[in-house]
Structure 1
Amino acid sequence: MELGLHIADFTWTGGAPALGPALARHAREAEQAGIRRITVMDHFWQIRGVGPKENDMLEAYATLGFLAAHTENALLHTLVSGVIYREPAMLAKQISTLNVLSGGRVGLGIGAAWNEEESVGLGFPFPPVGERISRLEEALQICAQMWSDSDEAYDGTYYQLGSTLNVPQNLSAPRPYLMVAGGGEKRTLKLVAQYADACNIGASPEAAHKLDVLRAHCDTVGRDYDEIEKTAIFRIDPSSTVDDMVTTGLELTDLGFTAAYVYASGITDPQRIIGMFADAQRRLA
């Protein structure tokens, strides 16, 4: 079991004036502790389950660029981008730009989006879930085409591109790491089987069933289930211990997951987070 650092709570000691140096130090210390995956949320307000919406939140792709400049080895991506936040061609270009500038270390995590309150507040369109998932599939197709040798047009139901020219191309081959997150059994997990390198599913009692559903979709579309990385996500807070992290990690391993992204909520000292990660990862290795 490999642990990834998911940075979801930026409400640290020192506040906004200290946030830049603290985040840079957090990322460097994560790499020094052996962490090889660092992710951030793609939200504009803090989300429920982490803190009040008024808490500090950084825009994801500016933050990934900052993290790329302060790390050397870690895979970087969002966990995950809502498809409605950006035009897919813009998103594909953002990923390619960061992939090139980071030496091939930036990938894409994407999902159908869920935060209606945030979208309404900031003026993002928030169509019904069926349309959001259809847009997600078209976005995956657009990214695949832009990350290929083709510069042909794309004509979808929701997105029309006159040309998919994308230069420079990504340094990672054959494309950037691609995660589709979500546990929707009829469509989202089928999109994982069709397009993704990895899934991401919450560490819940339904997790094992979700993997069974993914396996069935792989059989249906002719995809090797073992090609897809199975990742989960879980939370730690000030009451959590290293033993708690190890126990959850072992439980997820038994279910068939090989990586877990862990996010802290309410822990205002980033160094404490890294210390817990380092101890837990050594015991899970």
Structure 2
Amino acid sequence: MELGVHYWNYSTPADTAAIAPTLAETARIADQAGVASFTVMDHFFQMDRVATAEEPMLEGYTTLGYLAALTQQMTLGLLVTGVMYRHPGILAKTVTTLDVLSGGRGRLGIGASWYEREQAGLGVPVVPVAERFERLEETIQICLRMWSSDNGRYEGRHYRLTETLCEPQPLTRPHPPIMIGGGGEKKTLLLVARYADACNLFGTSVEELTRKLDVLRRHCADEGRDYDAIDKTVLLTRPVLADVDGVLADVAQYASLGVSEVQVMPDRHPVEFATEIAEKVLPRLASIG
């Protein structure tokens, strides 16, 4: 079982000048300890489901570029890119740049986006849910085209590109792994079966995860896709350090379902969190899976 760190909050410590060194030290500790992936959010306002929108939030891909220069081993990605926030051609170029500059550690995490407050606030088009999923599928198609030898036109319902040229190509071949986030059973998991190298689901319960993976398995059968070729990853919603034994017991059950990576979120000062994860969690994960 591999471990990922999802860095979702820039409010600790409170001093804006401390954001960069705190992020850097957290990533350094995680990287040296053997954390497999490091992700940040793709938001511009903090999520008002969990905190006030006015709390600090950094742009995701700029943050990952900063981390690329400070780390050596972890994969780097957004959990997950909001499909409405970047034109697909520019997104493919951005992820390619991350992959090249990180030495082949870029990952495209992507989803349908949902946070309408920040979209409306910053002038991002707010479109119906069905259209967001149409755009999500076209965006993935465009990224795959740009990461191929075909530089020709792309004609979709929402996006039209006269050239899908992307030079240099990513170091990761055939392309940076595509992770689709979300557990929607009719659309999201269908797109996972159709296109993704990995899925990302919430670790709310073993029963819920079992049901989601069964749905994914059925979509894979319908799409003629090898279910086992898709990496299953889970974002843990419980504070891991508050109950290490209990969380690891859940993780062992996730592993029995085929989950290969769990992501954890800091619930205290990020440097303290990374240090304790390295000492208390990572050594025990090695025996799971």
Q: TM-score scaled to structure 2, two decimals? A: 0.94
Alignment-mate amino acid for residue 60 of structure 1 = G
Give the 3 Å change call, closer, same or farther, for CA 69–164 of structure 1 in structure 2.
Answer: same
Cα distance in 2 for partners of 1:244, 1:45 equals 33
Cα distance in 1 for partners of 2:16, 2:142 equals 36
Q: Aligned residues, how many?
A: 284
Give the 3 Å change call, closer, same or farther, for CA 278–159 of structure 1 in structure 2.
Answer: farther
Cα distance in 1 for partners of 2:80, 2:18 equals 25
User: Deviations for 1:73-95, whole angstroms, at most 9, x for unmatched residues?
Assistant: 11001000010000000000000
Cα distance in 2 for partners of 1:272, 1:209 equals 31
| 1:134 paired residue number | 134
Cα distance in 2 for partners of 1:19, 1:129 equals 34
Residue 269 (structure 1) shift: 4.4
Give the 3 Å change call, closer, same or farther, for CA 55–247 of structure 1 in structure 2.
Answer: farther
Residue 13 (structure 1) shift: 2.1
Residue 237 (structure 1) shift: 4.3
SS in 2 for 1:20: helix
Preserved CA contact (<8 Å) 1:111 1:180: yes
Uncovered stretches (5+) of structure 2, i.e. residues with no partner: none
| 2:285 paired residue number | 284
Structure 1 vs Structure 2: percent identity of aligned residues?
47
Cα distance in 1 for partners of 2:119, 2:249 equals 36
User: Deviations for 1:90-120, whole angstroms, at most 9, x for unmatched residues?
Assistant: 0000001111111111110000011112211
Which of 209, 217, 225 in structure 2 is aligned with 1:207?
Answer: 209
Alignment-mate amino acid for residue 282 of structure 1 = P
Preserved CA contact (<8 Å) 1:242 1:276: no
Residue 46 (structure 1) shift: 1.1
Uncovered stretches (5+) of structure 1, i.e. residues with no partner: none
Matched, 1:119 2:93: no
Which of 226, 230, 233 in structure 2 is aligned with 1:231?
Answer: 233
Moved more, 166-175 or 269-278: 269-278
Preserved CA contact (<8 Å) 2:266 2:273: no
Preserved CA contact (<8 Å) 2:43 2:60: yes
Point out 4+ residue stretches in structure 1 off by more than 6 angstroms.
none
1:1-285 correspondence runs (5 A):
1-13=1-13, 15-205=15-205, 206-237=208-239, 240-265=242-267, 267-285=268-286
Alignment-mate amino acid for residue 266 of structure 2 = A
Q: TM-score scaled to structure 1, two decimals? A: 0.95
Preserved CA contact (<8 Å) 2:233 2:262: yes
Instruction: Give the superposed CA RMSD.
Output: 1.6
Residue 180 (structure 1) shift: 0.6
Residue 278 (structure 1) shift: 3.8
Preserved CA contact (<8 Å) 1:230 1:258: yes
Give the 3 Å change call, closer, same or farther, for CA 238–185 of structure 1 in structure 2.
Answer: closer
